[in-house]
Chain A
Amino acid sequence: MKNFMIKNCYIAVLCCLIICLLMEEARANYKEAQTAFRGRDYTKSAPLFFQAYAYPKDKAMRIKSEWGLAQSLQKMGFMYSASKFYSVIVRRGPKASNPYFRKALEELGRINNTASLGQSHVVQLFKTQVDPARIPGPARGFYFYYKGIEFFRNKKYAKAQDYFQRVPPSSNYHLKAMFHKGVIANLAGRHSRAISYFERVRTLSREGAEGDWLREQANLNIARVHYETRRYREAIRYYAEINRESENWLDAIFEAAWAFFLMQNHNSTLGNIHTLQSPFFENRFFPESYILQAITFLRLCRYDEVKKSLVKFKDRYRPVLKDVKSFLAATKNNPKLLFQTVYDYRAGSLNKYRSAWAILDALSRTDSYLEAGRTIRFADSELARLSRAPRKWRASGLLDELETFLRKKKIASRSGVGKRLFDYGKTYYTYLNELSDQTKLINAEMLLGKVDALRSKLKLDNEGAKKSYNFIGGMKPLNVGQDLEYWPFEGEYWEDELGGYVYNIDDKCGGAKKK
Chain B
Amino acid sequence: MNKFTSFKSIMNFIFCIDTVKSHLCSRQSLWLVEKICLPQRLTVNWERWRLVCLIMLFLLPDFFSEKIAVGARFDDYEIRVIRPRYFSKRKKFELGLSGSVVTNQTFIYTYLGSLNVTYHFTEQFALELAGAYGFSIDKDDKRILDDDFSIKTQIIRTQYLMEGSVLYTPIYGKYQLASGRLIYFDTFFALGAGISGVDYNYEQCLPPEDQANPDSTDEIPAPQVYQYPTITFGVGQKYFINKRDGIKWEVRDHYFTYDRQDGGCPGEPSEKNPQHNMTLQVGYSRFF
B164 to chain A, nearest CB (A): 25
Q: Are A473 and B81 also in contact (CB < 8 A) when A279-B1, A493-B1, A494-B6 are?
A: yes
The answer to whether B85 touches A500 (Cβ under 8 A) is no
The answer to whether B84 touches A495 (Cβ under 8 A) is no
Across-interface contacts of A490 in B (CB, < 8 A): 27-28, 77
Across-interface contacts of A504 in B (CB, < 8 A): 74-75, 77-80
Q: Does B203 contact A (CB under 8 A)?
A: no
Across-interface contacts of A425 in B (CB, < 8 A): none
The answer to whether A494 touches B8 (Cβ under 8 A) is yes
The answer to whether A496 touches B80 (Cβ under 8 A) is no
Chain B positions 87-135 with a Cβ under 8 Å from a chain A Cβ: 88, 90, 123
Q: Are A502 and B82 also in contact (CB < 8 A) when A279-B1, A483-B88 are?
A: yes
> Among A270, A280, A482, A497, which residue has its beta carbon within 8 angstroms of that of B81?
A497
Chain B positions 53-82 with a Cβ under 8 Å from a chain A Cβ: 72-75, 77-82
B187 to chain A, nearest CB (A): 14
A53 to B203, CA, bound (A): 102
Q: Does A503 contact B (CB under 8 A)?
A: yes
Q: Does A472 contact B (CB under 8 A)?
A: yes
Across-interface contacts of B88 in A (CB, < 8 A): 483
Q: Are A483 and B84 also in contact (CB < 8 A) when A274-B79, A505-B78 are?
A: yes
Q: Are A488 and B172 also in contact (CB < 8 A) when A483-B85, A494-B8, A496-B182 are?
A: no
Across-interface contacts of A484 in B (CB, < 8 A): 82-85
Q: Does A476 contact B (CB under 8 A)?
A: yes
The answer to whether B8 touches A502 (Cβ under 8 A) is no
A488 to B176, CA, bound (A): 16
Q: Does A141 contact B (CB under 8 A)?
A: no
The answer to whether B80 touches A485 (Cβ under 8 A) is no
Across-interface contacts of B149 in A (CB, < 8 A): none
Q: Does B86 contact A (CB under 8 A)?
A: yes
Across-interface contacts of B75 in A (CB, < 8 A): 504
> Among A474, A487, A495, which residue has its beta carbon within 8 angstroms of that of B180?
A495
B79, B81, B176: residue with the most chain A Cβ atoms closer than 10 Å: B81
Q: Does B171 contact A (CB under 8 A)?
A: no
The answer to whether B8 touches A487 (Cβ under 8 A) is yes
The answer to whether A485 touches B77 (Cβ under 8 A) is no
Q: Does A431 contact B (CB under 8 A)?
A: no
A504 to B81, CA, bound (A): 10
- The residue in chain A whose Cβ has the minimal distance to the Cβ of B77 is A488
B266 to chain A, nearest CB (A): 60
> Among B6, B10, B78, which residue has its beta carbon within 8 angstroms of that of A486?
B10
Across-interface contacts of B83 in A (CB, < 8 A): 472-474, 476, 484-485, 500
Q: Does A489 contact B (CB under 8 A)?
A: yes
Chain A positions 259-283 with a Cβ under 8 Å from a chain B Cβ: 270-271, 274, 279-280
Across-interface contacts of A486 in B (CB, < 8 A): 10, 72-74, 80-82
B69 to chain A, nearest CB (A): 10
Give 15 pairs: A residue, B residue, CB < 8 Å, sorted on A: A473-B81, A476-B83, A483-B84, A484-B85, A486-B10, A486-B82, A487-B74, A489-B79, A490-B27, A490-B77, A495-B180, A496-B176, A497-B81, A501-B81, A504-B78
> Which 10 residue pairs across A and B have the least CB separation, nearest first?
A489-B79, A473-B82, A483-B85, A488-B74, A487-B81, A472-B82, A500-B81, A488-B77, A500-B83, A497-B81
Interface residues in chain B, defined as those with a beta carbon under 8 Å from any beta carbon in chain A: 1, 6, 8, 10, 27-28, 72-75, 77-86, 88, 90, 123, 172, 174, 176, 180, 182
Q: Given known contacts A484-B84, A486-B74, what 16 new A-B pairs fall within 8 Å (CB)?
A: A472-B83, A473-B80, A485-B83, A485-B84, A486-B10, A486-B82, A488-B28, A488-B79, A488-B80, A489-B77, A489-B78, A490-B77, A494-B6, A501-B81, A502-B82, A504-B79
